[in-house]
Each structure stands twice: as structure tokens, then as C-alpha cells.
Amino acid sequence: MQSVLIVDDEKNTRDGLAAVLSDDYDVLAAADADEAIKLMDAENFDAVITDLRMSGKSGLSVIDKAISLPSEPVCIMLTAYGNVETAVEAMKRGATDFLSKPIDVDRLEDILKKALTKRAEKIEEQKTRLDAKIEKARAQKKHAAATQVANGHFELGDIIAQSPKMREVVERATQAAHSKATITITGETGTGKELIAHLIHVSSPRADKPFVPVHCAAIPSNLLESELFGYEKGAFTGAVNRRIGRFEAADGGTIFLDEIGEIDAATQVKLLRFLETKTLERIGGNESIRVDVRIVCATNRDLKALAQSGDFRSDLYYRLDVVEIKIPPLREHPQDIPNLLDAYSKYYAKENETQPVEFTPAALELLVRYPWPGNIRELRNFCENVVVMSPVRKIDVADLDETYKTPPAAPSKQTPTAVAPQLPVPTKKENEDALIKRALEAAGGNKSKAAEILGISRRTLYRKLAENG
């Protein structure tokens, strides 16, 4: 419940206003300015209603105190006839509105309600924009920390680009970054698509603006549209305040739509309209809002095939298919594996305040030969596990799990892999069992990490385990 402070040296006025407002608000009262200031020092109020002329300090001192507070409460001035000019001065100093005495209670309630609603909307918008700034700061911090840990191996954050294939990816990403074109990043689960998206952002003229990632598959379809485009107060049950969406939060910067192939048909339509007009409408609103944002998408699904089958709008696909950047699976650039192992070992050692691990040539040879079906995400989890759990700092063949001593064959292009966005349904149940078993082994029995490797939700993994016994 919102809180209101009433300040008036007339007891009847204090008690009367408190009685009227206490049904809807948490009300406290003060008999003078000094008492009011002490109360404001002790707790936060959403609104302050104060008389102008009181014994001792005037209501102006109450207003001055209120507007200096971080909570920025709504301030309403009460004044007797003949003091209107002074009340206007109070508004110049931060008061929201004023009422002449005798008080029209209905009008006071209306003014208070509207002012508090506007304040709540402002706070929500500030929070959304702050969240975007925090996300950007976190990404920058991660980039800086990872770069130091990698001792110069990182091109950006966790991107190792020593192999020709990854150098080509980095070069293509940085080249595309300077354009205004929509970019789609493709690749298996765990290959580092978000890192490439971040590289594009920091290499672009938008680098000093927000980078807003949206993991489309992680947001329920009935909420995705409101998350992306925002909503107006009253647009649906629970929409008590206006909220700006991720597109508005990313204004001037980059929005990263991960797993774009998972968005529902209604959101596809609205996204297509935005791409065509560069404007959006919040849910429940009719105002066209122009937003300057660069769209970078990512998917581990074949969008062209989805468009041809009717599971993804073909017109949206062609809007998105301007610049494509394909990230190869880790098994196709094994030259980067030693550097990745070294970088992540140092990173997780620093995170856990311990010593990094090293790998003997024999152990390193096995790890380079291993196909890493979960790609860099699986390798990263492996490094974290070894750094945290291994009793030795020199990892030899005997210290490796059997998974890495006898690695499975790398999946062919013709067969479904364990890194598709959704677990493929093989023709034989044994294939599915093998994929799940392999992922569980790679994750050390951790079902959450196994689900990440497989590219499915934890809930889906539990269902598959139950179905397959």
C-alpha cells in the first residue's frame, strides 16, 4: 500500500484527511514541519500533503525536504484563500499541485491518485532503462575481465579466434558491424552466438548505447510481445502501470534476439511491422513510437526451411536474411581448443580464488580430438568442473573422465545432432537415449548442464528421461 504523510497544525484537518485517505493509503500525520521532516528522515513516503502556513516553519520547508529525497514523493500544497501566489511558488520549488482551503476532498483524492500513477509510471520507466544500463555494464565488465584472463588470446570476451575459421567469423562480424543491416547469426547451440552479437555491438557506432539481449525461447509466448514492445496501463489484467519494452530500452543501441526461430506467429507479425516502419505500439496503446535500434538475431534452426514449411513467416525471414554470419561448431576449429582450455582454466581459477589447471600433452591430445557436441558451452563447463573439483593442478589422461578418453564420433551433417534447438526425434529410440546419456556424462550428471548441452529445457529433459526409463 502506498504511504501518505499529512502535515497540518490543525488537528481537525489532520484527522479528517487521515480518515478519508486511510482506506486506500497508509497514512501518517505530523503537527508541524519539524515533526514532518523527522518522519521523512525515518521512512519513505509516496506522497506528502502539507499546509502552507503553520506554527513554526512553513510548508515550504516540508516541500524542500521532500523534493531532496531519493524517493521523490508527490507533494501537494494546501493553502488558505489569499495565498495562491505563495502556493504557485511552492510548485516552482517542486510541489505537484495545490488546493485552496476549505478542501474539496473529492478533488484532493483525484489529484493524489493521478499524481501517484504518473510517479509509478516514471519509476517503472527509470527501472527499465537502468536495467538496460546494468546489462551493458555487466557485458563490458565481462569483456574486460575475460580479456585480462586470456592473456591476449581473446579477441573479445570469450571469443578465441586463432583458427582461420574463427578469424573469418570475427572479420565478417566486425565488417558488418559498421553497417545498418540486420544481422542473423547461425550455428549450433553453445557456439557463442551471443558473444559474436556483442562483438558486433561494441565494434559499431552504437557501442556507447545499450546492448539488450532477449532470449526468446526462455520467455513464454504469451508474455514475449509485451516484453519486446511494452504495454500501457490497463492493457490486460495485471498491467497496473505503463511499461516500456526491450526495443525502447535498446533505443540508439542494439537488441539481440536469441533463438528467433522460437517466436510465436503474433509476435512475428509485430516484429515484421517494426522492421518495415521502425515504429512500434505498446500493447493497449495507439501511439506510434519511433525507435532507432539495430537488430541482431541468432538461431540454431534452419530459418529458410522453417519459412518454406510455413512455421516461420517467409516475409519476416527475408527481412532478417540480410547479413548471415555462420559460426562453425568447435569440432571444425580444434586449433582453438588449447587456447580455450587455457583461457577458461585461468578465468575459473580467478573466479574461485584457486590455481589454474594445466593439461599434459597426452591429455590435451585427447581433448583436442574430442568432438565437443555441446561446443564452447560444454568446454566451458568442463573447465569449471576441473578447476573446482580436481585435487591436482596438472591434468593427465588418468584424471580425465572416460567420456574424453573414448570420445564419440562427431555427428555428420546428415544426422540430427545433440545441439539442435530442440531435441531431435530420431527414428530409433536408442539414438535418443545415447544422446541424453552422452550429455549427462559430459555434464558430470548435472541435469541442468546436460539440458544446456542438448539445447532443450530442463523440463523437456526430465520428460525424456521419464519416457525413456
Q: What is the mean pLDDT of the chain?
A: 83
Whether pLDDT at 97 is above 90: no
> In the numeric block, which cell numbers belong to residue 197?
552479437
C-alpha cell at 385: 568442473
Distances (CA, A) of 220 to 34, 262, 343, 374, 463: 51, 10, 35, 25, 19
Asked if pLDDT for residue 415 goes beyond 80, the answer is no
Q: Does domain 3-103 have CATH number 3.40.50.2300?
A: yes
Q: Which residue has the cell 502556493?
A: 87
Q: What is the pLDDT of residues 99-111, one digit of tens each?
A: 888 888 899 999 9
List the domain boundaries for the chain: 3-103, 125-326, 330-468
Name 466's Cβ contacts closer than 8 Å, sequence gap at least 6. none
Contact (Cβ atoms closer than 8 angstroms) between residue 418 and residue 443: no
The cell for 227 is 516484453
pLDDT single digits (tens) 241-281: 888 899 999 999 999 999 999 999 989 999 999 999 999 99
**Contact between residue 192 and residue 326 where contact means Cβ atoms under 8 Å apart:** no
Query: What does the block give as the cell for 330?
Result: 568447435
Share of the chain above pLDDT 70, in %: 84
Determine which of 42-56, 77-91, 210-224, 351-365 has the lowest per-residue pLDDT on average.
Answer: 77-91
Grid cell 522492421 in the structure block, residue: 275
Span 125-169, pLDDT tens digits: 877 777 776 766 655 554 444 443 333 333 334 467 788 999 899
Query: Do the beta carbons of residue 256 and residue 197 sit within 8 Å?
Result: yes
Least confident interval from 56-70, 91-105, 124-138, 422-436: 422-436
Query: Which CATH code, of 2.30.30.140, 3.30.565.10, 2.60.40.10, 1.10.8.60, is assigned to 330-468?
Result: 1.10.8.60
Architecture of domain 125-326: 3-Layer(aba) Sandwich (3.40)
pLDDT at position 138, please?
58
Domain 125-326 and domain 330-468, same fold? Reply is no
Question: Beta-carbon neighbour count of residue 292 at 10 Å?
Answer: 12
In this structure, which amino acid lies at residue 106? D
Closest alpha carbon to 45 in 32, 19, 20, 63: 63
- Work out the pLDDT band at 377, boundaries 50, 70, 90: very high
What does the pLDDT read at residue 146?
40
Q: Which residues contact 177 (CB under 8 A, 6 or more apart)?
A: 199, 200, 201, 203, 204
Evaluate the CA torsion angle 128, 133, 134, 140 in order and state its sign.
positive
